[in-house]
C-alpha cells in the first residue's frame, strides 16, 4: 500500500493547527491519523501536535494483535490516554486552557482495518468508482440531523455546523468511534479543510485519475481545496495500491 500525507496552512489562516501521523510498527501494523486543532480555540496546534506526539511515542511499542478485537481495545485505550494528556495540559497551563483537537484515522492490521474517529475530520473509502464516508461527524448539527430536528438542506449552511460534541482534550474523558471497515481500493483521511470544500464527485475525479501515483493524487487533492479558496488548514493522508511508503 502506498501512503502519502500533506498538510497546508491554506490561504486565509495565520497558523496551521492541523497535525498528521503515518506510522508503521515492527509488527507491520500501520496507523494513519489526522488531528485538526479546534479553530478559534487557544493552542489548537498544541492539542493536535501533542496528540500526534503521543502516538508517535507509543504506537511503535504496540503489542502483537491477536485479532481485531484486541486491536480495537488497544486503539480505544490509547485515544483515551491521549485525551488525558491534552486535557491535563489544558488544566495545568493557562495559555492552553480550552484547547482541543479532532482525531480521525485508520489502524491497518493483518486482521483487518479499523476506522477511528473523534470530531469532524473524516475517513473516506473508495471502491468501484464510488466514494463511501466511513466515519460520522460528531457535531451538534449532525446530531440534530440524525434526530430529525433539521433537514439535510438546513444542515448544509447551519450557523452551528462546526460545533463539536466530541473532541480530544476538551473534557476529562472521551468517547471514540472505532469500527471495522471494508477493504477498499483507496482510503482518504482528511480534515474539514478538504472535505468541507470538495464534493464526492470532485474527490472521485482525482482518486480515479489514470496514470497518477498516490503522491500525485494527494497533491492534486490539496491543490483542489486551495483552488476552492483555501479557507481553512488542509490536511490529508491518501492510501492505496502498491507497497507501504511513509512520507
Answer whether residue 140 shows pLDDT above 90. no
- Each domain of the chain, given as residue ranges in start order, spans 2-240
Percent of the chain with pLDDT over 90: 85
The per-residue pLDDT for range 25-39, each reduced to its tens digit, is 999 999 999 999 996
Helix (H) or strand (E) holding 190: strand 186-190
Query: Could you give phi then psi for residue 102, rounded to 5 degrees?
Result: -80, 165
Answer whether residue 40 shows pLDDT above 80. no
Answer whether residue 186 shows pLDDT above 60. yes
Count of residues in the chain = 247
Confidence of residue 201 (pLDDT cuts 50, 70, 90): very high
Cell numbers for 100, please give them. 482541543
Q: Alpha-carbon distance 179 to 107, whole Å? A: 10
Per-residue model confidence (pLDDT) at position 153: 73
Confidence of residue 41 (pLDDT cuts 50, 70, 90): low
In this prediction, residues 145-153 reach a mean pLDDT of 78
pTM above 0.85, yes or no: yes
Answer whether residue 244 shows pLDDT above 90. no
Confidence of residue 243 (pLDDT cuts 50, 70, 90): very low
CATH architecture for segment(s) 2-240: 4-Layer Sandwich (3.60)
Confidence of residue 53 (pLDDT cuts 50, 70, 90): very high
Cell numbers for 222, please give them. 490539496
In this prediction, residues 182-207 reach a mean pLDDT of 97
* Cβ atoms of residues 186 and 125 within 8 Å: yes
3-state DSSP assignment of residue 231: coil
Q: What is the mean pLDDT of the chain?
A: 93
* Cβ atoms of residues 81 and 28 within 8 Å: no
Q: What is the CA radius of gyration of the chain?
A: 17
Answer whether residue 227 shows pLDDT above 70. yes
Reading phi first (left if > 0) and then psi (alpha if -120 to 50, else beta), residue 139 is in: beta
3-state DSSP assignment of residue 202: helix
Per-residue model confidence (pLDDT) at position 170: 94
* Cβ atoms of residues 11 and 231 within 8 Å: yes
7-16, 78-87, 182-191, 236-245: the lowest-pLDDT one: 236-245
Going through 110-197 in order, the beta strands assigned E by DSSP cover: 112-118, 122-127, 130-133, 177-181, 186-190
In this prediction, residues 124-146 reach a mean pLDDT of 91
Amino acid at each position: 500500500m502506498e501512503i502519502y500525507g500533506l498538510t497546508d496552512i491554506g490561504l486565509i489562516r495565520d497558523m496551521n493547527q492541523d497535525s498528521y501521523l503515518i506510522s508503521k510498527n515492527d509488527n507491520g501494523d500501520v496507523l494513519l491519523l489526522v488531528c485538526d486543532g479546534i479553530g478559534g480555540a487557544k493552542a489548537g496546534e498544541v492539542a493536535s501536535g501533542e496528540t500526534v506526539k503521543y502516538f508517535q511515542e507509543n504506537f511503535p511499542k504496540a503489542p502483537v494483535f491477536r485479532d481485531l478485537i484486541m486491536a480495537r481495545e488497544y486503539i480505544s485505550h490509547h485515544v483515551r490516554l491521549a485525551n488525558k494528556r491534552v486535557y491535563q495540559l489544558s488544566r495545568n497551563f493557562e495559555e492552553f486552557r480550552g484547547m482541543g483537537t479532532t482525531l480521525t484515522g485508520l489502524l491497518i492490521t493483518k486482521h483487518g482495518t479499523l476506522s477511528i474517529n473523534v470530531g469532524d475530520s473524516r475517513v473516506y473509502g473508495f471502491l468501484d468508482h464510488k466514494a463511501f464516508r466511513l466515519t460520522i461527524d460528531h457535531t451538534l448539527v449532525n446530531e440534530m440531523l440524525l434526530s430529525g430536528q433539521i433537514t439535510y438542506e438546513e444542515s448544509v449552511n447551519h450557523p452551528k455546523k462546526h460545533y463539536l460534541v466530541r473532541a480530544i482534550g476538551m473534557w476529562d474523558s472521551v468517547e471514540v468511534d472505532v469500527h471495522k471497515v471494508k477493504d477498499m481500493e483507496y482510503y482518504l483521511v482528511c480534515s474539514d479543510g478538504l472535505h468541507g470544500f470538495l464534493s464526492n464527485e470532485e474527490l472521485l475525479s482525482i482518486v480515479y485519475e489514470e496514470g497518477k501515483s498516490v503522491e500525485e493524487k494527494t497533491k492534486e487533492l490539496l491543490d483542489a481545496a486551495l483552488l476552492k479558496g483555501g479557507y481553512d488548514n488542509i490536511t490529508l493522508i491518501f492510501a492505496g495500491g502498491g507497497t507501504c511508503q511513509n512520507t
